Structure 1
């Protein structure tokens, strides 16, 4: 995987480093705090989308899911804990 769009969470902290060690070359982060985030489009070069479910509202999660589906991009949902994210990464590897 080359690039990952992470939606949610104010700060990713060490998660960015761990994602890079897992093989992602580019990590784009949208914190989802502002209302305008719902209007943002998914970049074409993004390979997968990860939504931090404990840091986004339902409307944003729904809109991101719709946009991912329309662009045929895989979307995954996880809590902000590394164990939850790592479980998603294992799913990603199985489907790759």
Structure 2
């Protein structure tokens, strides 16, 4: 399984949690650079984690729209640890 983390600078806690749940292919976009809005969600992505404190609104809206179009689950975190109880 592959995941995309969008936002945040220090995402080691999130990566550790994902590794512990068998997700080994993890990509991270820090969400601060203007050019990141034009990036494309990798084809192998099966889960998106958005760190809401560290992402601009336009990128968050784009991620939400693209995730819906691609039928991908999105988890939101206010800081560095999302609500992983819903991941099986």
Q: Same fold (TM over 0.5)?
A: yes
Specify which structure has the higher proportion of helix: 1
Please give the TM-score of this superposition, normalised by the length of structure 1.
Answer: 0.82
CA RMSD of aligned residues (A): 1.4
Q: How does 1:1-96 map to 2 (within 5 A)?
A: 2-82=1-81, 85=82, 87=83, 89-93=84-88
Aligned residues: 88
Match of 2:17, SS? helix
d(CA) in 2 for partners of 1:10, 1:62 = 19
Higher relative CO (Cα under 8 Å, sequence separation at least 6) belongs to: 2
Please give the TM-score of this superposition, normalised by the length of structure 2.
Answer: 0.88
d(CA) in 2 for partners of 1:63, 1:5 = 14
Offset of residue 14 of structure 1? 3.7
Offset of residue 15 of structure 1? 3.1
1:11 and 1:31 in contact (8 A); partners too: no
Structure 2: state its 5+ residue gaps. none
